[in-house]
Amino acid sequence: MKVLLFGATGMVGQGVLRECLLDPGVERVVSVGRRSTGVRNDKLRDVVVTDVSDLTAIDADVPSLDACFFCLGVSSIGMSEQDYERLTYQLTMTIAETLAKKNTQLTFVYVSGAGTDSSEHGRVRWARVKGRTENALLRLPFKAAYMFRPGAIQPLHGVRSKTAAYQAIYTVTAPLLPLLRRLFPDHILTTEELGRAMIAVVRGGAPVRVLESRAISALGRG
């Protein structure tokens, strides 16, 4: 399996990259981002660009890719609606549409979030934008597309959030998370489960195209 990964320096992306590099069935990972992952591995091609929507640097790789794991995301807190839509919907669709034109055999996995609004008409801004993005991705002519909607995520193996406020929350709640996972195993995912679940849907598919935490957890546990 050859994988294209966006957002490898974020919390989710770090976990996904780790699982891809550990999986013997993943032979190649092409990471595209504004910063280097800082990871050294023979499987990894670390592509640093100023504009992640410009895929010129990976043109030669795209036709042979089996999957794209799209883990880029920003918080809507303190952001204007126009900027949030540009960074969430427009950026995602620019990349996805380019990939769909060059490789229709690709499986596209998009990390959305619990509470995403598929109707696109709810009161919560971020949920509407995420829902619009999901719906647009599902219409593209990929081999398959899966929308992942994780809720709470426990970072493992040294994975950290780039958002200071989120990392502070993870640090404070870290002692409680193992207990909460035992009590609610289908509602609190780990970065490890999330990464393994993404690989699993590329290998074997899934019964639905929009996966909530319970389904992601089941796939991640294998």
pLDDT in tens, 24-61: 999 999 999 999 999 999 999 999 999 999 999 999 99
- Domains: count for the chain: 1
The identity of residue 115, as a single letter, is G
Q: What is the DSSP letter of 86?
A: I
Q: Which carries the bigger pLDDT value, residue 160 or residue 17?
A: 17
Domain CATH code at residue 142: 3.40.50.720
Secondary structure letter of residue 1 according to DSSP: -
Mean pLDDT for 166-195 is 70
DSSP 3-state of 129: helix
Averaged pLDDT score across all residues of the chain: 90
**Residue 188 tokens, joined:** 């609190």
Distance between CA atoms of 173 and 54, rounded to whole angstroms? Answer: 38
Q: Which helix (H) or strand (E) holds 33?
A: strand 28-33
Coil, strand, or helix at residue 153? Answer: strand
Do the Cβ atoms of 219 and 200 come closer than 8 Å? yes
CB crowding 161-192: b at 16 or more within 10 Å, else e: bebeeeeeebeeeeeebeeebeeeeebbbbbb
Average pLDDT (155-182) is: 62
Query: 112-138 pLDDT, tens per residue?
Result: 999 999 999 999 999 999 999 999 999
Q: Structure pTM?
A: 0.89
Q: Please give the pLDDT value at position 79.
A: 83
Q: Identify the three-state secondary structure at position 111.
A: strand
Structure-token pair, residue 11 = 């919390």
Confidence band for 180, pLDDT divided at 50, 70 and 90: low
Highest mean pLDDT among 41-45, 178-182, 217-221: 41-45
Q: Which residues contact 165 (CB under 8 A, 6 or more apart)?
A: none
Candidates 14, 10, 15, 20; CA nearest to 190 is: 15
- Do residues 57 and 72 touch, judged by C-beta distance below 8 A? no
pLDDT band at 3; cut points 50, 70, 90 = very high
Percent above pLDDT 90 for the chain: 75
Q: 200 vs 17, 151, 172, 189, CA distance in Å?
A: 14, 19, 31, 15
Measured from the Cβ of residue 157, the count of other Cβ atoms closer than 10 Å reads 12
Q: Which domain holds residue 15?
A: 2-221
